[in-house]
Amino acid sequence: MDHEDQSYCAPAEGRDIASVMGFSGFGKKARTFDFNAIFEQTRRTAIERSQRVLEEREMEEGSRKKESVANSASKNVLPSTSTVSESSSSDDELIGPPLPSKTFMQNSASEEDEFIGPPIPRFKDSEDDDDDESNNEDDDNPVQRIPDTHEITLQHGTKTVSALGLDPSGARLVTGGYDYDVKFWDFAGMDASLQAFRSLQPCECHQIKSLQYSITGDVILVVAGNSQAKVLDRDGFQVIECVKGDQYIVDMANTKGHTAMLNGGCWHPKIKEEFLTCSNDGTVRTWDINDEKKHKNVFKPRSMKGKKVIPTCCTYSRDGKLIASGCQDGTIHIWDRNLSVHTKFHCRQAHVPGSDTSCLTFSYDGTLLASRGGDDTLKTWDMRNFKNPINVITGLSTFFPMTDCCFSPDDKMIVTGTSVKKGDGNGKLIFFDRETCQKMYEIEVTNSSVVRCLWHPKLNQIMVGTGNGLAKVYYDPVKSQRGAKLCVVKSKRKEKQAEALTQDYIITPHALPMFREDRQRSTRKQLEKDRLDPVKSHKPEPPVSGPGRGGRVGTHGGTLSSFIVKNIALDKTDDSNPREAILRHAKDAEENPYWVAPAYKRTQPNPVFADEESEDEDADKEPQWKIRKI
């Protein structure tokens, strides 16, 4: 007898003990499977199920045809869905909404193919097709994407707005100007009055050159007219201040920081702790926000003769691997970020020598560089062939060393501003095609120069800084998102003038009943009661200007000192002879002594004066030998 028979013939008690001890399965023969039979059975089941599904679909199609014939009078009405028989399983049911009849007619030949996903939409009329074609044409035209239907004006001050910065989320705008002020604007917190929630002077009496939020939006880089850049947090508090270098060292690479006025700066597009600055000391330096005591790297642009040149603007490429700088001699230098000695690209005659290149910016795809020069030109450069510009736009006047340009979010247009003299027209914001540099559109901003422009890709709104202290925001209610749309819908807050009448309630539990104050039940009722009280709501009288009136003494002469000063100032007598001025009071002093004589009236002796003799008598009494002989 084999093991299997022995195991089956074993008594029940032995099997139980074996199962308890864990070796009951030992000695059994493994179960065998016939895979061919299993596959054959599965195939037959699948065929039967497919035939059942096809029969149900034919029934549904027949019911749909009957319903379509019944509803043939009504046009463009979808047929109603037919219910699936309850006997069919959940696997056989159709999932999703029913398909339109026209699509069923088109796809009746392929009944075995299952439809997956949402139903195909209905066919539209010819008018709808025309509308779609026109919408597609509008989408293809970049001018239609410019958000300029609405605008709001933020009053920064009275002087030029020379810096604009918008955080990556588009929630806050920061502006800086020639009046040394930096103002913070919160779109979500502002109402229709459009007031800044904070204003400060981070660099004292230095003009603001550049403002930019980091890629995370938690800190702001402030570049002013001094030699030390600052980093502020979102609320305006200082985080770091770059160190100042030693101005007596000749080699600027051996100093820890800049030694002359800054011209520009920007954040790294990928690394949130790194930023870039350029200065009149002839260097471009990178900094780490965690190390404010020394720069990270230093780049020194040089002229053709190897002499120092002053960089006027600087920027990173979109991937952060290149650093570009425009200089006063009209050259453009581009370095590899990790190699600070030799330039990777350079163009010696990019702009007219002596004109300050005010802006360099890379396109979003990184293949194009746009430069705004002080020679009233805008040039585009291909990074794959940097020797000559692709296109040159002339006649763009600029009077400011920070007039900038930017690319549209779809990378199809270049935007820049123009400067005008006072009374010579309006400053314009001009849009050019990226490939051909042809003028596509323009916006007349204000009767002053357009200095800064910024097109935020997330908000699809354009921020413009002008020469008369205005910061304008252009938006479209349909194409734009958030930003200015949040504050224009809010009504102005009403000023609560009655708040000044409220008095603090003093609790005195041990005071006498006659001195105890009643507990205030409601502040609103107390305000209304104080408003009716003529004493509490009495408006104080303004100070008297000019002569006094109504029993009040004027501002001048109210006190003894002011009266004396006033009389002294009004006494304009001019005594040419001081002796006569003194002797004029001699007779009055002798008759009515007041100051000295009354004190010595009793003890003062009588004055004895010599007798006056004529000169002739003196001459007769002289001896003969003294008489002059004629």
519 with 505: CB under 8 angstroms? yes
For residue 361, give the nearest of 379, 377, 349, 336 by alpha carbon.
379
Distance between CA 1 and CA 8 in Å, rounded? Answer: 11
Whether 101 has a pLDDT exceeding 50, the answer reads no
pLDDT for res 417: 93
pLDDT for res 113: 44
Which residues contact residue 294 at a Cβ distance below 8 angstroms, ignoring those fewer than 6 apart? 243, 256, 257
User: What is the pLDDT of the chain when averaged over all its residues?
Assistant: 79
pLDDT for res 18: 57
Q: How far apart are the first and last CA of the chain?
A: 197
Which residues contact residue 410 at a Cβ distance below 8 angstroms, ignoring those fewer than 6 apart? 142, 145
**Residue linked to tokens 């990556």:** 168
Which residues contact residue 89 at a Cβ distance below 8 angstroms, ignoring those fewer than 6 apart? none
pLDDT for res 537: 83
- 286-295, 400-409, 600-609: least confident range: 600-609
- 33-37, 335-339, 342-346: least confident range: 33-37
pLDDT band at 175 (very low <50, low <70, confident <90, very high): very high
pLDDT band at 139 (very low <50, low <70, confident <90, very high): low
Distance between CA 588 and CA 430 in Å, rounded? Answer: 88
Separation of CA 2 from chain center: 90
pLDDT for res 260: 92
Q: What is the largest CA-CA distance in the chain?
A: 199
pLDDT for res 63: 80
pLDDT band at 4 (very low <50, low <70, confident <90, very high): very low
Q: Which DSSP letter does residue 600 get? A: G
185 with 175: CB under 8 angstroms? yes
pLDDT for res 498: 47
Distance between CA 167 and CA 267 in Å, rounded? Answer: 12
Whether 237 has a pLDDT exceeding 80, the answer reads yes
Residues linked to residue 185 through DSSP beta bridges, in sequence order: 173
Average pLDDT over residues 246-268: 90
pLDDT in tens, 393-422: 999 999 999 999 999 998 899 999 999 998
- 49-53, 92-96, 166-170, 346-350: least confident range: 92-96
pLDDT for res 344: 85
pLDDT for res 28: 54
SS3 label, residue 196? coil
309 with 329: CB under 8 angstroms? yes
- 7-11, 59-63, 385-389, 399-403: least confident range: 7-11
249 with 194: CB under 8 angstroms? no
Distance between CA 551 and CA 616 in Å, rounded? Answer: 72
For residue 245, give the nearest of 212, 294, 193 by alpha carbon.
294
Query: Residue type for 343, please?
Result: T
Joined together, the tokens standing for residue 163 give: 């810096």
pLDDT-above-90 percentage for the chain: 34
Whether 379 has a pLDDT exceeding 90, the answer reads yes
Q: What is the dihedral of CA 308, 309, 310, 311, to 10 degrees?
A: -120
Average pLDDT over residues 24-50: 75
pLDDT for res 496: 56
pLDDT in tens, 471-509: 999 999 998 888 888 888 888 776 655 454 455 667 788
Distance between CA 448 and CA 138 in Å, rounded? Answer: 32
- 28-37, 389-398, 589-598: least confident range: 28-37
Distance between CA 269 and CA 271 in Å, rounded? Answer: 6
159 with 177: CB under 8 angstroms? yes
Distance between CA 171 and CA 458 in Å, rounded? Answer: 11
pLDDT band at 576 (very low <50, low <70, confident <90, very high): low
Average pLDDT over residues 220-225: 94
Whether 363 has a pLDDT exceeding 50, the answer reads yes
Whether 132 has a pLDDT exceeding 90, the answer reads no
- 89-103, 221-235, 464-478: least confident range: 89-103
- 122-136, 154-168, 448-462, 528-542: least confident range: 122-136
Separation of CA 521 from chain center: 45
Which range among 278-287, 341-350, 598-607 has the greatest average pLDDT?
278-287
Whether 370 has a pLDDT exceeding 80, the answer reads yes
Whether 532 has a pLDDT exceeding 60, the answer reads yes
Q: What is the dihedral of CA 528, 533, 535, 537, to 10 degrees?
A: 30
**Residue linked to tokens 């800064």:** 452
- Kindly tell me the burial class for residue 343, based on how many C-beta atoms sit within 10 Å of its own C-beta (0-12, 13-18, 19 or more): buried
Average pLDDT over residues 114-136: 48
Which range among 89-103, 138-152, 508-522 has the greatest average pLDDT?
138-152
Distance between CA 596 and CA 278 in Å, rounded? Answer: 79
Whether 586 has a pLDDT exceeding 50, the answer reads yes
